[in-house]
Structures are given as structure tokens and as C-alpha cells.
Amino acid sequence: MPDKSTSSETATPAATETAQAPSAARKIYPIVKYGDTILEKPGAPIKKFDAEVEQLAEDMFASMYAAQGVGLAAPQIGKSLRIAVVDVTGGKNPEAKIVLANPEIIHAEGEVREEEGCLSVPGFRGYVMRPQFVTVKAQNAKGESFEIRGENLLARAFCHEIDHLNGILFLQHLSMLKRDLIKRKIKKLRKQGEW
Ligand SMILES: [Zn+2]
């Protein structure tokens, strides 16, 4: 796990330079930005695990790598579903690819305050307190249940992505002052047609 990257969704340049090129067959989705209401509503559980879900997960990995992220949740590509993908190696290690369908945090321990960013809130970062360790219960893209424990950046990524599936953005964990400052800047960018 690269400890030089402290963001849950934005990989370091070093990590992304060696990221795998997405396969030609994969669909690269544009990332939904802050302001779209889909980011603020809970996703629907995945009930049927078929080839479509597996394809969606692979397309989400491809979209995440293309955006140089280390985590991506379905609402961020405009799909209100409880599925997210995480790879804190930025595509360097195929075994680090984690699909979280219908995930739940079943255990959390410790606290770490670190800077966090989000692909849906590009250009803005803020310090967020997250558990140091979390255990997540989820299903993979085939519907098989598993439990996974994450520490530090991985724990942060799990929490950040599961928040997305519940309609929560990292902005909601910031101080009101910091949050309002970012919201004002985004409003200004939107007026200028840059958001
Ligand atoms: Zn995010």
C-alpha cells in the first residue's frame, strides 16, 4: 500500500504512471461531479449477479484508472447502485483489485486524520477522520460473499466508497468552514462554466 498517497481516490503520479492501460473493450465512463443529485442519494442493492455486473465492475476499474483514482463508486458514473471498486495500487497489482458489492462495515477501530480527495470533487482536498482499521463484508462481482480488512489508506478508501453508496461525500466530514469555502469555490467555477 503506497503510504505516500494520502488521498482515498486520487493516486500519486508515481502510482498512475505505471497503471495498466484499460482494455480496448472496456467502457470509460465520465465521472459525475459534485452538484449532481445522484451523488447525494443511496444506491439500490445489487440483487442479480450476472455478466452485466461483472462487466460493470471491469468498466468501473477502467474508468477509475483512466481518472487516476484509487476508488470509484457506481453513483460517480451515474448509476445509483451499491457497488464500488477499489485499487490502492493504481493498477500496479491485479490482485489488489477489490469489488465491493452491497458492502457493509462490520468492524472499525482506531482513528486517523488524513487529507482526502474525491474524483467527483476534483481539485479540492480536506482532512477527514477515518478509522485506522475496518473490516468490510461484501460480495464480489460474482455475488460471492467475503470479508476484507483494510488498514490506513485501504480502510479510508473503503469508508469513502461506502459513504458514496449511502449518498455521502467527503465534504460532509469537513468542518463547516472548510466545506462552505469549497462549496463557494465550486459555485464560482460553475458560473464560469468550469465545473
Ligand atoms: Zn469520492
Given pLDDT bands bounded at 50, 70 and 90, which one contains residue 75?
very high
Residues forming beta bridges with residue 138, ordered by sequence position: 146
Spatial contact of 164 and 13, defined as CB atoms under 8 Å apart: no
What pLDDT, on a 0 to 100 scale, did the predictor assign at position 7?
A: 55
Average pLDDT over residues 89-95: 91
Q: Cα(99) to centroid of ligand 1, in Å?
A: 15
- Per DSSP, which regions of 17-166 are E strands? 71-73, 83-86, 98-109, 112-117, 125-130, 133-139, 145-151
- Determine whether 161 is an active site residue: yes
Main-chain dihedrals φ then ψ at residue 67, nearest 5 degrees: -90, 5
Other Cβ atoms less than 10 A from the Cβ of 7: the count is 22
| Average pLDDT estimate for 86-93 | 93
Q: Measured in whole angstroms, how far is the alpha carbon of residue 115 from the centre of its chain?
A: 14
Q: From ligand 1's centre to the CA of 52, what distance in Å?
A: 23
Tell me the pLDDT tens digit for each residue of 160-189: 999 999 999 999 999 999 999 999 999 999
Query: How many angstroms separate the alpha carbon of residue 119 from the centre of ligand 1?
Result: 5
pTM: 0.88
Q: Which of 9, 58, 116, 161 is catalytic?
A: 161
